[in-house]
Amino acid sequence: QVQLVESGGGLVQAGDSLRLSCAASGGTRNSYDMGWFRQAPGKEREFVAAITWSGGRTYQADSVTGRFFISRDNAKNTVYLQMNDLKLEDTAVYYCGADPPGALSGGPSYFHSWGQGTQVTVSS
């Protein structure tokens, strides 16, 4: 099973930017469809953004469109989430997920492999 390690979270002020990284290792495939979900206290885990294994297609939640951008570097087996103009409501634990190529063909859904999460806290 692929192992996922997130990094880049932290405490920032509203309007600031952060870039999260998710490094993939192990597993039986060279690449995966990957993405980000987030979970705020007392709320369910929700979709944020996803990217196909080739990087040819991306998906974003309406709440982050125009502010968050997902990308990947397959040479480094790493997916990034660039978060701009952060808002208080973006505060959450951000989880990286992965599935074999083709998992996103029907649109974003819960992944089967997850990282441990990284905390993003936005203050006013």
Residues near 93 by beta carbon (within 8 Å), at least 6 away in sequence: 38, 39, 40, 117, 118, 119, 120
- Is residue 30 scored above 80 in pLDDT? no
Give me the pLDDT at residue 96, please: 98
The predicted-structure confidence for 52-99, as pLDDT tens digits, reads as follows 999 999 999 999 999 999 999 999 999 999 999 999 999 999 999 999
SS3 helix, strand, coil % of the chain, rounded to 5?
Answer: 5, 50, 45
For the chain, the farthest-separated pair of C-alpha atoms sits apart, in whole angstroms, at 44
> Tokens at residue 55, please?
């990087």
